[in-house]
Structure 1
Amino acid sequence: MARMEVVRGDITQLAVDAIVNAANNSLLGGGGVDGAIHRAAGKELLRACEKLHGCATGSAKATSGFDLPAKWIFHAVGPVWSGGSHGEADLLAGCYRRCMELAGEHNAKSIAFPAISTGIYRFPLQQAAEIAVHTVRQHLQSSDVDRVIFCCFDDATVEVYQKIV
């Protein structure tokens, strides 16, 4: 079974095959992780994302990593939290599922995820982390991915993920 680890750090600096971007539907950049990835990857990323014509919530699309150490960026569009009764959990799980599928399609053996939807989209951290770890763990059983990193922005997020992993 693949290794799952939790780190605190900057996802744009990780030397992995793929990093996951917590993107918005346009895929054209935004704040938080999305903005940081777009800045670090360089201007070619925006041009590549324009050609993808957006992405549905609960799914993900791939681009090259451009100027990043990662070969690939999987742009996952997580749900905005609306109280939990609007399918948010299923949509969030869909992001992680699709990223694991993309890892297979792009022969990525290592992948790093941020805490999708837990920033400005306000998804409750504990629930989001449980969905992330559970969904990834399910997919690892039939996957060639051998290393999964949950890259957290702060100590509180690290603590939550470490308890679940």
Structure 2
Amino acid sequence: MSDIHSKQANHNDRKDHDEALKHLNLQSLEQINQINLHKNLLIYYGNIVDVKADAIVNTANEGLLGGGGLDFLVHSLAGEELKQFCSQVPADDQGVRCCTGHCVITSGFKSNYKYIIHTVGPYLDENNKPQPKLLADCYKNSFQAGIQHNCTSIVFPCISTGYYGYPMLEAAIISIETLNQCLQQCQKSNVIVTIAVFNDLEQKIYTKLQGEMLDA
């Protein structure tokens, strides 16, 4: 496997984001220009599992056997069969079943979704720099997987901005621009894509990106 598709820095001991990243995320509210959304791209403010869709995109790790946050929630909803299925996906000698930027689609098992699309978002690299191509690939590859399985509705989380520490404004712009392009190029006009935004600060970022006023 090519190194560019794997995590380029080991952040397994990370307990929290550093103060510089927190400051950057807060400061980004003052640096936002509006982006026009494709008519079939929606932003939902709240818990992703409250969004009805054919497919949910899960922020997985490279092993696909479950982790924390959304990954834990998705595995809990889908049941033990999901872990059993994922354990049968071929892995390399380091246990990698899905490289960063790629995705694996599975049945929704016991969840309310037909499909679960597991994608591995990028950490910051070894110099704490963002990896925009890998993040865009998560959205693009997950969208294409859903389309190939005849999904007409796909719900995405904000990929890599939680524990992985991707700067929120840059990640939000990448998510909108990438999914805008995917929808523009899609031959199916009835596909609805939703980005579910849960974090309070990210909700403010997406609100301003849409050109909406923040509550005082």
CA shift for structure 1 position 2: 4.5
Q: Normalising by structure 1, what TM-score?
A: 0.92
C-alpha contact (below 8 Å) 1:115/1:129 kept by paired residues = yes
C-alpha contact (below 8 Å) 1:7/1:158 kept by paired residues = no
Is 2:42 the partner of 1:5? yes
C-alpha contact (below 8 Å) 1:6/1:158 kept by paired residues = no
Q: Normalising by structure 2, what TM-score?
A: 0.71
Distance, in Å, in 2 between the alignment partners of 1:146 and 1:94 is: 19
Q: Which position in structure 1 is the counterpart of 2:119?
A: 76
Task: Look up the equivalent residue of 1:23 and give its one-letter code.
Answer: A
Provide the secondary structure at the position in 2 that maps to 1:57: coil
Task: Look up the equivalent residue of 1:101 and give its one-letter code.
Answer: Q
Which 5+ residue runs of structure 2 have no aligned equivalent?
A: 1-37, 91-96, 211-216
- Give me the identity figure in percent: 39
Matches within 5 A, 1:1-165: 2-53=39-90, 54-82=97-125, 83-84=128-129, 88-143=131-186, 144=188, 146-165=191-210
Distance, in Å, in 1 between the alignment partners of 2:204 and 2:105 is: 29
Runs of 4+ in structure 1 deviating by more than 6 angstroms, as ranges, are: none
Distance, in Å, in 2 between the alignment partners of 1:164 and 1:65 is: 32
Specify which structure has the higher proportion of strand: 1
C-alpha contact (below 8 Å) 2:41/2:179 kept by paired residues = no
Which 5+ residue runs of structure 1 have no aligned equivalent?
A: none
Q: Which of 120-129 and 135-144 deviates more?
A: 135-144
C-alpha contact (below 8 Å) 2:54/2:115 kept by paired residues = yes
